[in-house]
Amino acid sequence: MEELFTLEKEVGRGSYGVVFEGHVAKTGQKVAIKRLPCKDPESIELYLQELWAMRVTAENHINVIALHSSLLQTGQKSLKPLRKGKLPLRLVESVLKGSVAQIRGSQSNTHRRSNSVSRLQDRTNSPSSNFSPSLSKRPSNRSRKRLSQREDERTGSLHCSALWLVMEYCDGGDLNQYLLSRPPDAHGNPSVVQQLSSAVAFLHRLGIIHRDLKPDNVLVSVTANGPIFKVADFGLSKMSEGRVDGKLTRKYFSSTCGSDFYMAPEVWGGLTYTAQADIFSLGVMFWAVLERITFLEEGTTQEQLGAYVCKGRWLMPLGEALWENADLQLCIPMKWKRAAPLPSPPGPAMCGLLFDMLASNPDSRPIAEQLESRVRAALKEDSH
Q: Active-site residue numbers? A: 212
Cα–Cα distance, 36 to 50 (Å, whole number): 11
DSSP class of residue 40 equals S
| Residue 88 Cα to chain centre, angstroms | 21
In one-letter notation, the amino acid at residue 192 is V
| Residue 134 Cα to chain centre, angstroms | 32
Report CA dihedral (148, 151, 155, 157) to the nearest 10 degrees.
-10
Nearest residue to 211 via CA among 279, 149, 116, 137 = 279
**Strand, coil or helix: what is 23?**
strand
Alpha helices, DSSP H, located in the chain: 41-57, 89-97, 107-115, 141-155, 175-180, 188-205, 265-268, 276-291, 318-324, 348-357, 368-383
Phi and psi angles of residue 34, each rounded to the nearest 5 degrees, phi first: -105, 125
Nearest residue to 54 via CA among 82, 13, 16, 74 = 82
Phi and psi angles of residue 31, each rounded to the nearest 5 degrees, phi first: -135, 160
